[in-house]
Amino acid sequence: MTAALDADAGVVAEGEACVACGHPTAAHDTISLRYCAGTQLNALTRSCICPQPK
């Protein structure tokens, strides 16, 4: 069961801290991963939507 879901997931790698928001990448769901990837690409400082309190 190998899905190529990370083909366009940006630079966020599992097991690392998110560059955009600093939360563990594992704490992100699919939506927040894409949201943070967009934040990085656009160099934005908007808050994240991770399903985890700060």
The residues of the shown chain that bind Zn ion, judged by CB under 5 A, are 18, 20-21, 23, 36, 48, 50
Q: Which two tokens stand for residue 3?
A: 């899905």
User: How many CB atoms neighbour CB 49 within 10 A?
Assistant: 14
Bridge partners (DSSP) of residue 17 are 24
Residue 1 vs 11, nearer CB to Zn ion:
11
Q: Which is nearer to Zn ion, 1 or 36 (CB)?
A: 36
Closest approach, Cβ 31 to Zn ion, in A, equals 11
CA 25 to chain centre: 6
CB of residue 5 to Zn ion, shortest distance in Å: 17
